Amino acid sequence: MLTGDDYRKSLLDGRETFFEGRRVEDIGAEPALDIAVRSVAAGYDRHYAAGPDARNPLMEAPRSIEELRDRIPMLHAVDVLTNVTYQSLMTLFTVGGRMAEGSEEFIERMHAYVDDARARDIRITECITDAKGNRANPPSRQTDPDAYVHVVDRQRDGVVIRGAKLHITGASLGHDLMVMPTKNMKAGEEEYAIACAVPVNAPGVRIVNTTYAPRVADARHFPVSSRNAIPDGFVVFDDVFVPNERIFLDGQGRYAAVFAHSLGLWERLGGIAFMVEEADEMVGAAQLIAEANGTAGIAHIQEKISELVIHATMLRAGLESAITHAERTPEGYFYPNELFTNAAKFQGAAQYNLMVRHLHDIAGGAVLTAPALSDFDNPDTGPSLRKYMSTMDGVDGEYRARLFHLIRDLTADAYGGWRFVTNIQSGGGLFAQRLVTRKHYDMDRAKQIALRSAGIEE
Amino acid sequence: MLTGDDYRKSLLDGRETFFEGRRVEDIGAEPALDIAVRSVAAGYDRHYAAGPDARNPLMEAPRSIEELRDRIPMLHAVDVLTNVTYQSLMTLFTVGGRMAEGSEEFIERMHAYVDDARARDIRITECITDAKGNRANPPSRQTDPDAYVHVVDRQRDGVVIRGAKLHITGASLGHDLMVMPTKNMKAGEEEYAIACAVPVNAPGVRIVNTTYAPRVADARHFPVSSRNAIPDGFVVFDDVFVPNERIFLDGQGRYAAVFAHSLGLWERLGGIAFMVEEADEMVGAAQLIAEANGTAGIAHIQEKISELVIHATMLRAGLESAITHAERTPEGYFYPNELFTNAAKFQGAAQYNLMVRHLHDIAGGAVLTAPALSDFDNPDTGPSLRKYMSTMDGVDGEYRARLFHLIRDLTADAYGGWRFVTNIQSGGGLFAQRLVTRKHYDMDRAKQIALRSAGIEE
Amino acid sequence: MLTGDDYRKSLLDGRETFFEGRRVEDIGAEPALDIAVRSVAAGYDRHYAAGPDARNPLMEAPRSIEELRDRIPMLHAVDVLTNVTYQSLMTLFTVGGRMAEGSEEFIERMHAYVDDARARDIRITECITDAKGNRANPPSRQTDPDAYVHVVDRQRDGVVIRGAKLHITGASLGHDLMVMPTKNMKAGEEEYAIACAVPVNAPGVRIVNTTYAPRVADARHFPVSSRNAIPDGFVVFDDVFVPNERIFLDGQGRYAAVFAHSLGLWERLGGIAFMVEEADEMVGAAQLIAEANGTAGIAHIQEKISELVIHATMLRAGLESAITHAERTPEGYFYPNELFTNAAKFQGAAQYNLMVRHLHDIAGGAVLTAPALSDFDNPDTGPSLRKYMSTMDGVDGEYRARLFHLIRDLTADAYGGWRFVTNIQSGGGLFAQRLVTRKHYDMDRAKQIALRSAGIEE
Amino acid sequence: MLTGDDYRKSLLDGRETFFEGRRVEDIGAEPALDIAVRSVAAGYDRHYAAGPDARNPLMEAPRSIEELRDRIPMLHAVDVLTNVTYQSLMTLFTVGGRMAEGSEEFIERMHAYVDDARARDIRITECITDAKGNRANPPSRQTDPDAYVHVVDRQRDGVVIRGAKLHITGASLGHDLMVMPTKNMKAGEEEYAIACAVPVNAPGVRIVNTTYAPRVADARHFPVSSRNAIPDGFVVFDDVFVPNERIFLDGQGRYAAVFAHSLGLWERLGGIAFMVEEADEMVGAAQLIAEANGTAGIAHIQEKISELVIHATMLRAGLESAITHAERTPEGYFYPNELFTNAAKFQGAAQYNLMVRHLHDIAGGAVLTAPALSDFDNPDTGPSLRKYMSTMDGVDGEYRARLFHLIRDLTADAYGGWRFVTNIQSGGGLFAQRLVTRKHYDMDRAKQIALRSAGIEE
């Protein structure tokens, strides 16, 4: 296994990564990106165990409902990149169980890859969303054939791929890119049915980063994002060679969507696991600021806190049910129930903006206008700010300002914006979640109930 | 145990019950009320077993999570009055576990009462909501002291009570009225802290019925309400004597709310168990009518059906979690988790009207204007109606009309109105459910999460 | 002009009208339908003026914004059938202005028809929704060619039409049926591009009625619907001859939708004019019942009343803006602004169910369970009901029960169901209103604003 | 009148203003604050006219509904500080009309002040929200008597005030601070009933600034906020002397709220005027990005755009009605209708978060992950980005990226967070708007309608 230091060194492998118009040679030297490096390195140190047989226990496929349930608090404790690595590996386990005969070689490669990845203790990001070109047309009918990642050359020992993958969280921070097709491929689109693992520093890979990391020196002003910000990558595959042993699907169009669906499931589970904590955090922030404002006993404030509580509880009910009703692959691995996972993800995404509105309505305008903590440090302004930001005995002005900064960082600043968008977009937009939920619902039973009620015999 | 026939006879016990200005001597002879009698009698016949030791298995207190879970489909299969009886008995079990030392005699009486009630196979309704008078004042400060049911006289072998209980579903149809205080009573309000079981035909009990039962002869037009309608009772206790052995609380104000809270819990569990089926039924009705209309493939129709599906699924998640996290009384009885039960009840009540809007938007105006089935029978109009109500091969005009009648009966007629109101009001309005959910939520944990995120040490 | 008595007599013209499986020879003799006859007759008496030149001033086309605005309170005062007649006549005025050269003859016929209709003081219903068959196919590709009303024979002096029109409010109560195509017709669908006026008693016309009228003798229990209920008609045209002078469109497919759009506009204006009053009525009912319950000062009750108030106010703003921005036909007639009319109609329909939820949450369960007024009359029960339905000095129990009956009648009984459905469906479902609003919005201006903000020059 | 240059110089008047822990001597030299200086200076240059009698026409009180209406597009064109100045001056006009006899001297001073302010062409900010301390207590019962701004000393020629005003948009950028009490004051709170105008550079005034201004050099990434960002000020009054002629209220508690209500009205009018443009801008952005994504024809995208359109239209209806129903002071000045202004402000604030959700759902994840324009400039990455961000012929990749940057800047970054919070909080939170709307609604009329419908005579 790797230590945090090992990890930092591993990033200096010649990867071509860019940020705001410049090539970044050393990610850790770029302050806006180093936040992520620090967070991942700390994660390595936390999980590190010595010895050649040491493995990160999180990365083992759950073999029972209880094991699956135990992963949830573990996921809450780890950094985003480790989370994404977990989702990538679990996807491979689930995919194996969903591919049929004739895919034995691919399944074997996946198992070998997972074993090796765990032994090397690497971090893997999931690369799914293609550039897509004109949404009205399938991959094979695009003006630009590269709108979806595809094989452009075949060699004895591997293939060459071209295209781009977008919105890849942590792409520049990991070691491997897990490339998968974004949907099912039809006859004639075999070259687009490609899944494989590509090292970040493979020749031809170029990543352009964006980040919501705070640009202000004083981290206290951004208590969450100054520790958690992780860049998203726009990943270009410019004729990248992939050796055979790293290819997990090649040309079997009918299995293309198995990858996307399996990944989608794990991504949404990760999503609701995060949302459940996020919802509890919002409840806590709402209650704390109401108490600090002296408004916790006012009826309409209590109502809004109750709605935040109910939201958090219903999301938790969805997560719990997704796990209680987990399903089993033929190989004995457990994965969460599709129906509950998707319904809860939808609920979380659909209600999130309203919950933020409640939080803002509870907290008040100082979410925006609470002075910086450096203004509290300044002897010319600090005493006045402390005096006027205090509301009563026992509520320190600076403490109250910190709560406002928390709420601003979570919901009304760059990181807050990232949450607004990713809560909807991760795992597909609201439309996708509506679709998948409908697909997994027992519609026949529902129709039977209605027919019986209508007095109609079938 | 009783047969349906025994039950019918048991109602001719001199009870004073009224309907639309008239005394009703024989409930079964009043068509609008007989619907309920038929439904309860059928339930008796279904569960009947011979022999003096025969008992209805539903009425046993669950001794494990699995037993509690197994009750849910049983509840879906029984009539409303049996459901209410189940809630009343379970309340007594739960109350026992929540009362402390010094209440031994009351607990004993409750156990004896439950045993007797099960042996006699009677039906019991829960009487909780008082007339309440001026909501701004507690019972002891009302202009009319009878605004809440209270003890007006004490005798050696029992007490005399006076007051009224409102919204008592099935009051005229059962054998006993389970009277409980609606909230905690303070010092000086001891006479209001009274819980007891009163026979429906006890002297001084008078019940005024209201019903949403259809008044039209042709039951096909009301496929659900013509089988399920059960009257609500306005129950007046006009100096009713209650013998000691039927008194379960008398003067201990601090336990008054234990009854209300315990009943509220079982009522809300019953509520969400019903809502979950109701939601699935609405999904089924929506899908069937969309198919019959030929619109099941249209994007906005599918979106609305998806939202119905997600609603049904989230309610089910709430119900499942309420049971998975069930709690145990000291005596070993299991009762559902308060937090999840209340959150799900809120969600179901709060979203119900929107779900009906979706269903109406999917179905179209023929929910109201589909002709009666007797118009289909009429040779002068039937062929035209059949022709013009059909939409394509395989969709019969009369079949489609029946679906519209189902939707009208469920959501756009007298029974539909009953559902709109009771979905919100049963177990207390939205405000009550907000309050209870907040009370049972782990607020300390939520605050810890937020403080940690804010970088504030405690 | 006609008196109420003249009107009653005019209905005995041999019209073939049906109700619940039976032919109805005399509509006024059928209690469930006579409610409507009484209401229309009273309207005739109210507007009656003697003399051959007397005309109903409401039926004049408005020639200024002020005149258009003055119509709104007049519409609030009249019965539903008169309202529908107004919409039908205004549609003909608007259509005229939207048809181009080559339609002179049709326009002339419309003017002549309107003059005659006003002189004869008749009532006219608008017949637009066809049976439609398979929604996926246009009229010309239906299995049953009669799925849309069409011309099946042409004669020297007129045409013969066949088909059905659904959801025709008041069809059996009026004198003429204004038949219009439901949408634009393509080449090859000329026979479906037919608009005309058909007497209700024309041979081949058959109407099947449905109604939400209360079936209980005591009208006090249904204070609104016992006065306002008007049946909807399922109108069958079984080879009905229409003389040339009553044909307003015949074969010009490109104008087919002009009728539907014009009617839709006036229908939606009528819809929001009704919704605005309805919304104020709901506010009033909410405030009165909160006062009678003694809860008008409770914070969460006040919040819900505020939301009802805001809803009512925004609808009024939409109505006002639709009139302030009215548009003018070339002939100088004014019609409401499409954009505001449609946006307000959408808002009213989309929010209605939530507003009812608020009202139910404010009022409480007695919406359903308030005893009948005949129970108040009964000396055995009346005193108790009066006592226990009263909440404080000055709030009489029977008065409070009447408020509950009002709310039940408006929102939780058969008429309430009719409002739920028609609020969405009249003038097309939510989808239709989304579509029309988008079409009439100044999208180019909105795009210019966004491009300027984005710093993009065009 | 002043030119932009004059304005810049006017700021170097010794004002004590702070930012992130430091005293700022020259606001224009601080990049994050200079954005606002540039924007205000440009506004001065745009309106500049030479000569001693030149005046800014916007700052004249409207004397008719038409003049009031004409102000709206003018307000859209000016900078935030000018807007705030307009609101401050209009407030003084409205206040005058609402104060009764005995206040002549104050009214005279206000008129003199307005004349002088217009002649000197200064900018004025409105200072209303106090620190407030413990919300449960009125000003006179706070532990810290300075929790509300109050008079601490009286001198022959003026008074000395102490306290703080929070959330003062543009405080450091203007010339005068218009101090007003935040609510009505009771007997014994006369010292808190103080309204006055204080120069920003008066001794004892200290302002701590916060800002959502972008901190990244490349303004193209923040197309809106890089031009519009204006800091909010936390304004401390540390024993500030105010001469008599600048005092507009002193001790008349019953008029204290007149200032707050008048300002609230103009603030909310400004709010909805801004919201209406903002809503149209969001529609434009949604439509443009849907077209650029190639998804403008997809049903669920169109539905969401329709809902944005309807939202924008209903807000406009509210604004229009507020002006159409404007009211008149005794002196002949016009101010917007309270009811419509408040209802529209509520609707805008309550729906805003949902509208952003729609926009994010329409746009997709590239709102966050669109690369910087400098990455497009970089020859190593630009061609790939252009290639893969393009979706079809005619949609340039960089153009599309710019649209994403616009949406991110408006809704998912620091400025977006400012909009989320201020949309709710400006002019008071949702609760305040509910309250004011209820107060101005014609409740008696609504109750009459309901009573009539209930068949209850009064």
| Cα atoms found within 13 Å of the Cα of residue D293, Cβ hemisphere only | 22
Give A20 to chain C, closest Cα distance, Å. 19
Cβ separation of A167 and D431 shorter than 8 Å? no
Give the helix ranges, DSSP H, for A294-396: 299-324, 338-363, 366-369, 373-377, 382-389
Q: How confident is the model at residue D183 (pLDDT cuts 50, 70, 90)?
A: confident
Fold of C4-249: Butyryl-CoA Dehydrogenase, subunit A; domain 2 (2.40.110)
Mean pLDDT of chain D: 94
CA distance D293 to D287: 10
How much is the average pLDDT of A398-410?
Answer: 97
pLDDT higher than threshold 80 for residue B155: yes
Contact C168, C179 (CB under 8 A): no
pLDDT higher than threshold 80 for residue D101: no
One-letter amino acid for residue D367 of the chain: V
Measured CA to CA in angstroms, residue C458 lies from B256, C448, C451, D419 at distances of 73, 9, 8, 27
Q: Name residues of chain C where pLDDT drops below 50.
A: none
| Residues of A in Cβ contact (< 8 Å) with D208 | 371, 375, 381, 385
Cβ separation of C434 and D310 shorter than 8 Å? yes
Element (H, E) at D335: strand D334-335
Q: What is the dihedral of CA D100, D105, D111, D112, to 10 degrees?
A: 180
What is the three-class DSSP state of D449?
helix
Give A420 to chain D, closest Cα distance, Å. 7
Mean pLDDT of chain C: 94
Nearest to D317 among C287, C344, C450 (CB): C344
Cβ separation of D314 and C410 shorter than 8 Å? no
By CA distance, what is D377's nearest residue in A? A21
Helix B299-324, helix D299-324: angle, nearest 10:
90
Closest CA to A213 of A429, A409, A438: A409
Closest CA to A245 of A206, A289, A198: A198
Q: What is the pLDDT of residue B103?
A: 86
CA distance A160 to A149: 10
Q: What is the pLDDT of residue C432?
A: 87
Give the helix ranges, DSSP H, for C183-332: 225-228, 253-293, 299-324
What are the tens digits of pLDDT across the range A85-107?
999 999 998 998 888 777 889 99
Q: What are chain A's partners, defined as 3 or more CB pairs within 8 angstroms?
A: B, C, D
Contact A276, A424 (CB under 8 A): no
| Residues of B in Cβ contact (< 8 Å) with C298 | 135
Contact D245, D47 (CB under 8 A): no
Domain A257-448: assigned CATH number: 1.20.140.10
Q: What are chain B's partners, defined as 3 or more CB pairs within 8 angstroms?
A: A, C, D
Q: What is the pLDDT of residue B356?
A: 97
Give A304 to chain C, closest Cα distance, Å. 11
Q: What is the pLDDT of residue A212?
A: 94
Q: How confident is the model at residue B259 (pLDDT cuts 50, 70, 90)?
A: very high
Residue B100 burial (10 A CB sphere; 0-12, 13-18, 19+): exposed
CB atoms within 10 A of CB A69: 17
Give A25 to chain C, closest Cα distance, Å. 32
| Residues of B in Cβ contact (< 8 Å) with C136 | 294, 297
Contact B179, B165 (CB under 8 A): yes
Mean pLDDT of chain B: 94
Burial A326-341 (b: 16+ CB within 10 A, else e): beeeeeebbbbbbbbb
What are the tens digits of pLDDT across the range D105-158?
999 999 999 999 999 999 999 999 999 999 889 999 999 999 999 999 999 999
Chain centre distance of CA C297: 37
Nearest to C236 among B133, B372, B384 (CB): B384
What are the tens digits of pLDDT across the range B13-26?
999 999 999 999 99
Nearest to C281 among D280, D441, D449 (CB): D449
Give B299 to chain D, closest Cα distance, Å. 6
What is the three-class DSSP state of D160?
strand
CA distance C104 to C116: 18
What are the tens digits of pLDDT across the range D322-364?
999 999 998 899 999 999 999 999 999 999 999 999 999 999 9
Closest CA to D16 of D178, D166, D234: D234
Residue B53 burial (10 A CB sphere; 0-12, 13-18, 19+): exposed
Closest CA to D294 of D394, D410, D412: D394
Give D306 to chain A, closest Cα distance, Å. 16
How much is the average pLDDT of B429-444?
Answer: 90
| Residues of A in Cβ contact (< 8 Å) with B402 | 454-456
| Residues of B in Cβ contact (< 8 Å) with A449 | 277, 280-281, 284
What are the tens digits of pLDDT across the range C291-317?
999 999 999 999 999 999 999 999 999
CA distance D251 to D106: 12
Give A228 to chain B, closest Cα distance, Å. 11
What are the tens digits of pLDDT across the range C406-441?
999 999 999 999 999 999 898 888 888 899 899 999
Domain boundaries, chain B: 257-448
Q: What is the pLDDT of residue C458?
A: 62
Poorest-pLDDT segment among A440-449, B92-101, D287-296: B92-101
C-beta contacts of B424-428 below 8 A and 24+ residues apart: B424/B349, B424/B352, B424/C357, B424/C360, B424/C361, B425/B167, B425/C360, B425/C364, B425/C365, B426/B267, B426/B268, B426/B271, B426/C365, B427/B264, B427/B267, B427/B268, B427/B271, B427/B345, B428/B264
Q: Which of D226, D277, D313 to mutate to test the interface with C (most CBs of C within 10 A)?
A: D313
Tokens representing D138 are 């009125």
Contact B153, B159 (CB under 8 A): yes
Q: What angle do CA B130, B136, B139 make, to 5 degrees?
A: 45
| Residues of A in Cβ contact (< 8 Å) with D380 | 18, 23, 206
Nearest to B450 among A285, A445, A456 (CB): A285
Closest CA to D179 of D123, D243, D129: D129
Nearest to C314 among D314, D434, D446 (CB): D314
Q: What is the pLDDT of residue C100?
A: 74
Measured CA to CA in angstroms, residue D325 lies from C249, D335, D340 at distances of 42, 9, 8
Tokens representing C423 are 């609020």
How much is the average pLDDT of B240-256?
Answer: 94
Q: What is the pLDDT of residue C428?
A: 81
Helix A414-425, helix A253-293: angle, nearest 10:
140
CATH 2.40.110.10 fits D4-251, yes or no: yes
CA distance D273 to D257: 24
What are the tens digits of pLDDT across the range A45-86?
999 999 999 999 999 999 999 999 999 999 888 999 999 999
CB pairs under 8 A between A and C: 9
Bridge partners (DSSP) of residue B158 are B155, B243
Give A299 to chain C, closest Cα distance, Å. 6
Measured CA to CA in angstroms, residue B242 lies from A212, B202, B204, D172 at distances of 71, 9, 11, 76
Closest CA to B434 of A116, C372, C303, C176: C303
Closest CA to A197 of A89, A62, A82, A329: A89
Q: Using H for helix, E for strand and C for coil, what is the string for B392-437?
A: CCCCCHHHHHHHHHHHHHHHCCHHHHHHHHHHHHCCCCHHHHHHHH
Residue C371 φ/ψ, nearest 5 degrees: -65, 160
What are the tens digits of pLDDT across the range B308-353?
999 999 999 999 999 999 999 988 999 999 999 999 999 999 999 9
Tokens representing D454 are 């209930």
Q: How confident is the model at residue B286 (pLDDT cuts 50, 70, 90)?
A: very high
Q: What is the dihedral of CA B353, B357, B362, B368, to 10 degrees?
A: 100
For chain A, percent of residues with pLDDT exceeding 90: 88
Cβ separation of C146 and B387 shorter than 8 Å? yes
How much is the average pLDDT of B92-108?
Answer: 86
Q: Which residues contact C13 (CB under 8 A, 6 or more apart)?
A: C200, C201
Q: What is the pLDDT of residue D458?
A: 63
CA distance B30 to D193: 70
pLDDT higher than threshold 70 for residue B458: no
Cβ separation of B449 and A281 shorter than 8 Å? yes
Cβ separation of A368 and D212 shorter than 8 Å? yes
Q: Which residues contact C305 (CB under 8 A, 6 or more apart)?
A: C283, C286, C287, C290, C296, C358, C362, D438
- Among chain D, residues having any CB pair with chain B shorter than 8 Å are 298-300, 303
Element (H, E) at C164: strand C158-169
What are the tens digits of pLDDT across the range D331-342?
899 999 999 999
Q: Which of D295, D300, D301, D305 to mutate to test the interface with B (most CBs of B within 10 A)?
A: D300
Measured CA to CA in angstroms, residue C150 lies from A197, B386, C140, C182 at distances of 64, 19, 10, 11
Chain centre distance of CA C298: 37
